[in-house]
Structure 1
Amino acid sequence: MSSRADILAAVRAAKPAIDAPAPAVPSYDDAYPPDQDGLAALFTERLTTMGGTWHAPTAGQSIDDTLREALADKLGQPLDVNAVIASHVPEVEGNREIAGAPADLHDVDIAVLRARFGVAETGSVCFTEAELTVNAVAYLAQHLVVLLDPAEIVTNIHRAYQRDDIKNAAYTVFHTGPSATADIEGVLVRGAQGVRSLTVIPLAR
């Protein structure tokens, strides 16, 4: 028997014979707004702090017009001119399928995805493999547009990890604003290693 096996056998033999359940972890959400409108306002504040944009549709505005308006100052060109749009939501028609290898999506200008939920504490949006299909699409696109149901905003990360869709997902990622780095001469640069902008459009499922 190896030394490793000897050590592990000794540890197992000395393990106390008790059945102690793991302690309950508090949710730490007493100080958060009690209603969804309040959580949406807090989410918007934190999202903006992290460099993201909350762009709510105006009354009667179509999702296509909302998308065009939200990206008007980010693309450097009209949305309808040669933009490669990879959409994984039925509300927006894209011109590039989100499928295949990550390299197939290297030239995507705009990725449009539906977030599983949002987190008010950090202004984050959550995706699983079901929303992404190709996990790298949310990093390779120049601009990420996220549809988020305001009713699906939780208070904090503790609440996020209590959700069954997190527990049952094979892959989960939280996006908090666009890519950024501040280690280049102390200057904040957005879009350094990932998306240049992250826009959240509140839209019920």
Structure 2
Amino acid sequence: MHGERHVICPKSKTKILMTGIKKEVKTMGREAILKSIKNNKPDLLSIPEIDVTQFTEEVNLIEVFKNNVNLVGGNIKEVDPQDIDVEIKKMYPNAEKIVSVADECSLGTVQISGKTDPHELNSIDLAIIKGSLGVAENGAVWISENEIVVRALPFITNDLVIVLPKDQLYLHLLHAYEIIGKRERRFGLFLSGPSKTADIEQCLVIGAQGAISLTVILI
């Protein structure tokens, strides 16, 4: 259907005749959209089976892990469990508001629980948490809410320390996925180094959105 309308130009006060084609637009309801999506879903593909043995290498897991933690901007130390408090004090002498949810450390000055409001942690200087396992290929550590108690804790703190057992290091992520797939949790993630970004002019900035430093303590 052809249509026409008049538009007044505000500057010249002249009337302009505009003609065009009026199109009818058909809209689909919610049920119709969902039905269309359901009818046009692609066929499901089975997950390929990976032979994990093909990725086995004879390497020093601790050394590879150390190198990659440093590569992603983190710090790492091997420490005897009884010396953890002393070493952390050396590294972060000015930390006052400290949350520790690692059994090996007794430096905590702020207590938290599963009911703690994350907003109450916005002034935390240091958080000390326990890592479940480490991945040598990229220096990542798996943490879950079972260890950190409050999900926001590793990200809202100024500095972060992760206590990690040496015997929980794995070479590749695929090995780590086999382990975490057998554990119960609602929230977890791999954390590799401190917060960082290189989006702007390819310039690496450490501490961009979260913790400005991350230290892994191997015990």
| TM-score, normalised by the number of residues in structure 2 | 0.74
Q: 1:158 deviation in Å? A: 1.0
What is the SS of the residue equivalent to 2:198? strand
Partners of 1:176 and 1:64 in 2: CA distance: 23
- 1:88-144 C-alpha deviation (Å, 9 max, x unpaired): 012212011133011111111110011010011110011111011100100011111
**Aligned partner of 1:89: which letter?**
A
Equivalent pairs, count: 187
Measured after TM superposition, the shift of residue 157 of structure 1 is 1.2
Equivalence map 1:62-73=2 (5 Å): 62-69=83-90, 71=91
Verify: 1:84 aligned to 2:97, yes or no. yes
Which sections of structure 1, spanning at least 5 residues, go unmatched? none
Structure 2 gaps of 5+ residues are: 1-30
Residue of 25, 29, 48 corresponding to 1:23: 48
Aligned to 1:117: 133
CA distance in 1, matches of 2:218, 2:129: 12
Q: Residue type matched to 1:129 in 2?
A: E
Q: 1:29 to 1:189 in 2, by over 3 A?
A: farther
**Aligned letter for 2:52?**
S
Give secondary structure in 2 for the equivalent of 1:46. Answer: helix
For 1:6 and 1:141, the matched residues in 2 are separated by 46
Partner residue, 1:40: 62
RMSD: 2.9
Mark the CA change 1:8 to 1:121 in structure 2 (over 3 Å): closer, same or farther: same
TM-aligned CA distance change 1:135 to 1:6, over 3 Å: closer
Work out which structure has the larger RCO, using CA pairs closer than 8 Å and 6 or more positions apart in sequence: 1
* Identity percentage of aligned residues: 29
What is the Cα deviation at residue 167 of structure 1? 5.0
Whether the 8 Å CA contact 1:98–1:105 is kept in 2: the answer is: no
User: Quick one: distance in 2 between partners of 1:10 and 1:125?
Assistant: 42
The alignment status of 1:139 with 2:164, answered yes or no, reads no
Structure 1 pair 21–85 and aligned structure 2 pair: CA distance change class (3 A): same
Q: Distance in 1 between matches of 2:175 and 2:52?
A: 6
Give, as a single letter, the amino acid of the residue that structure 1 aligns with 2:178.
Q
Partner of 1:95: 109
1:199 corresponds to: 215
Contact 1:89 1:114 in 2 (8 A): yes
